[in-house]
Amino acid sequence: MPNYCLLVEYAGDAFAGWQIQAPGARTVQGCLVDAVKQITGERVAVTGSGRTDAGVHAEAQVASFSLDRPLEPEKLQRALNGVLPREIAVRAVRTVADDFNALRAARRKRYRYRIWNHPVRSPLRAGRFAHIPRALDVERMARAAAHLVGEHDFSSFQAAGSDAKTTVRRLHRLDVEGTPGGEIEILAEGSGFLRYMVRNLVGTLLEVGQGRRSVAWVADTLAARDRTHAGPTAPALGLVLEAVDYGEALGAQPWESRTSDGKTQASGDSEA
């Protein structure tokens, strides 16, 4: 059975999340399963690198599945894009080892959260940026973010109802960049993330940026291991899954994913 790996981009505001849910819920995974069945007649199990929540976008989600009969990757890509809804695009398809699994093989993930920090809303940014009218102190946010980098118990930033076996995660980067009164971005890169973790990290940093909390409060919040100590969950619309790192699992020619400045960066780069 040939095994395929897909690089998928989607507008998350059109879906109830990645994972298939109750009947009637429109999900990215469900659309991919239906598209493969329409093309091949096979109902496959599509595995993603992780589950993005309702409203969260992806530039480089990675998915895998097996088929009973082989199809050329280029033909499969064209066929999928021909039947998928306009909010989903398969950017690349390749065959992979039989034991490759998009979830289990992932080593790192990179998310980017975009903020429009201006008193006046921006209609052109409305679906991709969270609007924060009050001026943010980017320097204070960056200092607060430094307390969170490293391997920690991130219980304070996990949403209720998570089924994670452990709340310990390694956060390789948490960068805050941009200019008050304009676009601000928060880049989070780690070995894995708990449910709503990135949005809860962002919501906590926004408390500092708006002067409601001190920089030291973030370190205290991390140590508390209690969700009630952290800031509110930031809106989903500002968040995008930007890259997934698989090391050598995808071979020597990693895919490239777009960055916010229009440049490209390899999705298999260990610094992604």
Q: Structural domains in the chain?
A: 3-105 (3.30.70.580), 109-240 (3.30.70.660)
- Distance of alpha carbon 210 from alpha carbon 141, whole angstroms: 9
Catalytic residue among 13, 53, 226, 245: 53
pLDDT at position 250 is: 76
Cα 166 to the chain's mean position, in Å? Answer: 20
Tell me: the pLDDT tens digits for 231-254? 999 999 999 999 999 988 776 444
Q: Would you place residue 23 in the very low, low, confident or very high pLDDT band (cuts 50, 70, 90)?
A: confident
pLDDT of 263 > 90? The answer is no
Number of C-beta neighbours around residue 116 at 10 A: 22
Q: Is 53 assigned a catalytic role? A: yes
237: helix, strand or coil:
helix
Compute the average pLDDT of residues 254-266. 45
Q: Would you place residue 164 in the very low, low, confident or very high pLDDT band (cuts 50, 70, 90)?
A: confident
Tell me: the pLDDT tens digits for 82-105? 999 999 999 999 999 999 999 999
Residues 6 or more apart whose Cβ sits within 8 Å of residue 85: 14, 31
When the pLDDT of each residue in the chain is averaged and rounded to a whole number, the result is 91
Tokens of 138: 């980017």
Q: Would you place residue 162 in the very low, low, confident or very high pLDDT band (cuts 50, 70, 90)?
A: confident
Number of C-beta neighbours around residue 199 at 10 A: 27
Tell me: the pLDDT tens digits for 40-58? 999 999 999 999 999 999 9
Radius of gyration of the chain, Cα coordinates, nearest whole angstrom: 19
**How do 264-266 and 256-258 pair as beta strands?**
antiparallel
**Helix segments in the chain, DSSP class H:** 28-40, 73-83, 138-146, 197-209, 215-224
**Counting Cβ atoms within 10 Å, is residue 230 exposed (0-12), middle (13-18) or buried (19+)?**
buried
pLDDT of 156 > 70? The answer is yes
pLDDT more than 90, % of the chain: 86
Q: DSSP secondary-structure letter at 150?
A: E
